[in-house]
Structure 1
Amino acid sequence: MKKIRYIIIGVCAALLSSCGNDWLDLKPSTAIETDGSLTELRDFEFVLNGAYSSMQSSNYYGANMMCYGDLTGDDMKSYKSTSTNVNYYTFKFNKTNGPSDFWGVYYGIGKNINILLRDIEKIELVPDRIITTPKMESLTEQVYYNDLKGEALAIRALLLFDMTRLYGYPYTKDNGASLAVPIIDQVVNDKNVKPSRNTTAQCYKAVVDDLTQAISLLRNVKKEGKINKWAAMTLLSRVYLYMGKDKEALETATEAIKGAESTGYKLWTNDEYAKIWATPFNSELLFEIVNLTTDSPGKSSIGYLCTKYNMIATNKFWKKYLKNMPNDVRSQMVSTASQSKPFCLKYPAQGDKSYEDANIPVFRLSELYLNAAEAAVKRGDISNTRKYLAPIYARTGKSLDDVADKDITLDLVLEQRRIEFWGEGQRFFDLIRNNKRVVRTDCLSEVPEEARSFDWNYYKIVLPVPKHEMEYNENMVQNPEYELH
């Protein structure tokens, strides 16, 4: 292969350095040639593995994405003022000290994904020819091609979705009119190109477009550590909920549940719940970030940060949902070794790996059930709300049959989301996108009064554009409220 100028991802060295990932069968690439370097389907899988490897970073799903979604909410808090990511918890960001980690991940992984998506269109396929993939599967070239392209589109959609909910106000607050982030969907070789921010509505449209195409391409199979059809549909149903498109959210989640369960996925039983987190690739995990002892974030990982008390349950959550609900199997997901340090047990040691190297669940089958239930209750469809909420509600040790129709409400569904996804980075976003108030009652003294009770009108529910972006790119604008403070 000819030597051509390389694009090197503009993220810290820790994010980009990669050891071999045995679970992927191919070493990942986090630096790829800018023009004409991808000529065989195997090359594209190589690049995808690099994207998955970079998603392990503590700057993304390895820790910070999870920490942000929980520490900004009302059910987890920093243990002390020196804990990792305490700035998320205290909302101490301003226009000069906003985090750049998320921005770097978005541009870094996105650059390589766009090169992949450009070059894969140039591949001359023999559609019916059977080839053997690195996973020793026999597939036609067309099926393999579709799967690789579908994964790339889904990863790009996930990146943009996360950035939009970090930097843009909730879609339903102003119908997506607020500015979010630039949509990076093309290969840019000119270093002088300086994109401007797109609106939240434009970003969500791009996410939906990518996911819709991805779902049409992805195979109906399980994939260990990679995005499959059902994971992409889980994300799409979540996106529709964020947009207030409840009909589409219900339809997507319903179809995905049926498809995933026909493929062998199933909800965990109450007996399994507490123990199964230690088993990778189990029946409810549609997509998880895979960590190995050789390439995990280690002491920067979410497993380490939870187990070493950087983030713990708030007193309110601990007392109401963990301590006083012993029949709820989910109450077993908190350490009882010390009531002053009730930490999350969802990132345990797995096999011969330490908790530092625990895999990170991103999409679970339980989310599809709760997405369907939320969409249904918002549509006044109590029958479907009961249908999809009942299996999750059963984890309380009670039956939803004993709950009257008048009590089947959005608040009940959100409460089940609250308990189900504690420690998985969803609580803050679930409250804010529904314009529910975040009330934080047992805060560290460093938390300012304005950050103890707020709704989607609080300007700090979105992050400021990083300082270096503002200095480098004259087309970039800051969120207005940050300019005033």
Structure 2
Amino acid sequence: MLTYKNALLLFATALSLAACSGKLDEPQPDNSIDLDHIQPQELPLLLNGAYKPDGIYYMGYPVWDIYSDDIVSIQGGSPTQFNPMGYDACNPTVEDGFGNNRTMNSAYKSIGNANLIINYINSKHITDMPQVLGEALTIRAYHYTRLVETFGGVVLTLETETDINKIRRDKNTEAEVYASIVADLTAAIPLLKDFTSPNMACRQTAQLLLARVYLQLGKNQEAGDLAAEVIRSGKFSLVNSNYGQVFLYNTPAKEMMWRGIDGPLSSTLGYNRYGLYALYSPGPPFKGNSPGLTWMSDDLVALYEPADIRTQLLRRQRNATTGIEQTYLLKYSTDTLQTAANSYAIYPYIRYSEAFLIASEASARKGAIDVTYYNQLRTARKASTKSNGDFASPAAFLKELENERRREFVGEGRRWQDMRRFGTAIPFLSSKGRDETRLYLPFNSIQLSWNPKLTQNKGY
């Protein structure tokens, strides 16, 4: 039995270790352990714990889609419950209804495991576990990316600190968090092996995540170079017929680079009653347990060409509440016919198609129109291609790339970050009667009570 100490309620010390069970891959949020009570052979178990699905809270996906212009929801609820209508109005409350508290807690649980692995390997000068160290660095960077996109500056914890007086402090700046993310991914890339499975981080995962971060930071040359390197790796291929294969658990496609999986789900729970299926999918007569109160915006639907294979995952169906036909997203419904004993919920983190769009955007932001990568993606999706001369300026090409990202990543929680980068977020907020303070979400009231030194984001 492992010896545990300093049970804490504060999120930043949630090191995801199972109390007195010895099962280091079973996350528990209120127990921590020091480095002297870990053995090298236990590090893979800690790594498994960092990959657990409750370490990446999936409700962060629809928050940003409903917040943006991609998704419409009339789910309702109350300010302290599931309340996407508040997000649709770009007016989330401090109490929130989409689980901001759980979003933060789940991220710090995985960060805790990653910190323990990173600090143990570095302090013990272990040189024969580069893959484990690289994965831990990538996981930590991924979670801080989610947090900084959601809240801006957050408390940056990189050690295995258990002194509550040192943990209860104000947030780091957004720039400091991004600097840590870049440092982690830069260190991880040479440690990691090439892609073998979408269920774990690899070299290409870290490269494309770093490219995503660089693009958001305006480092376009670096972003484009990394994206092109992922494309040249030859480890992936774009789906060009059955788009739904990308989102299957047992998939023959080689396009999903990194994903979360939850399951196998129990027969009583069932895939069609779990995860994002129950939010995005249509209601009856479609198989499942969704109320059908969340759908795609008409302007997004209009962006698809009829032959585009991505329309395979769109379903037009009458909404029983409004009496109007709406278009529903089936990305999270593709496994609904599998047996209950083999059912999994899938959450995409990094997809190969993003490399093509990052490379194209990075070039355009440097003032060049180059449709090469854009056309490769469009050709795979059976959509029309363009020539450089079809765009009057790099700005016109950027607008088309913004639309292509909407078509490709709807439902995957990327839209709001794109709107910020493409300059459409502020005008959209103005149309809702909001201002730039709504670029980020508020810290939950529970977080503020746990950490009185934490400064709430402006405007809340």
Measured against the shorter chain, the TM-score band is: 0.7 to 0.9
Report how many aligned residue pairs link the two structures. Answer: 420
Q: How does 1:50-449 map onto structure 2 within 5 Å?
A: 50-53=49-52, 56-57=53-54, 61-82=56-77, 84-86=82-84, 87-95=86-94, 97=96, 99-123=100-124, 125=126, 142=128, 145-168=129-152, 180-193=153-166, 194-259=168-233, 261=234, 263=235, 265-269=236-240, 271-280=241-250, 282-294=253-265, 299=273, 301-307=275-281, 308=290, 309-318=292-301, 320-322=302-304, 325-338=305-318, 340-350=325-335, 351-353=338-340, 357-382=344-369, 385-394=370-379, 395=381, 397-401=383-387, 404-406=390-392, 409-437=397-425
1:481 equivalent in structure 2: 459
Residue pairs, 1:1-16, within 5 angstroms: 3-5=3-5
**One-letter identity of the residue aligned with 2:442:** P
Greater shift after overlay, 364-373 or 106-115?
106-115
Shift of the 16–45 alpha-carbon distance from structure 1 to 2, 3 Å rule, reads: closer
Query: 1:231 offset after TM fit, Å?
Result: 1.1
The whole-number CA distance in structure 2 between the counterparts of 1:65 and 1:435 is: 22
Is there any run of 5+ residues in structure 1 with no aligned partner, and where?
19-25, 128-141, 169-179, 441-448
Which amino acid in 2 is paired with 1:277?
F
| CA distance, structure 2, for counterparts of residue 100 and residue 183 of structure 1 | 16
Q: Say which SS state the counterpart of residue 301 (structure 1) adopts.
A: coil
More divergent stretch after superposition (93-102 vs 208-217): 93-102
Single out whichever of 212-221 and 329-338 deviates more from structure 2. 329-338
Greater relative CO (CA pairs within 8 A, separation 6+): 1
Q: CA deviation at 1:432?
A: 1.4
Match of 1:206, SS?
Answer: helix
Give, as a single letter, the amino acid of the residue that structure 1 aligns with 2:411: G
**SS at 1:209's partner residue?**
helix
Structure 2 Cα separation of the partners of residues 410 and 354 of structure 1 = 45
Q: RMSD of the TM alignment (CA)?
A: 3.1
Q: Distance in 2 between matches of 1:337 and 1:257?
A: 37
**Percentage identity across aligned positions?**
23
Q: Distance in 2 between matches of 1:289 and 1:187?
A: 25
**Measured at CA, do residues 224 and 427 of structure 1 come closer, stay the same or move farther in structure 2, by a change above 3 Å?**
closer
Structure 2's unaligned 5+ residue stretches are 282-289, 319-323
Offset of 1:463 from its aligned partner? 1.2
C-alpha distance in 1 between matches for 2:455 and 2:419: 27
Q: Is the CA contact 1:288–1:360 (under 8 Å) kept in the aligned structure 2?
A: yes
Alignment match, 2:321: none
1:191-214 C-alpha deviation (Å, 9 max, x unpaired): 222121111111111100001001
Q: Could you tell me which amino acid in structure 2 is paired with residue 415 of structure 1?
A: N
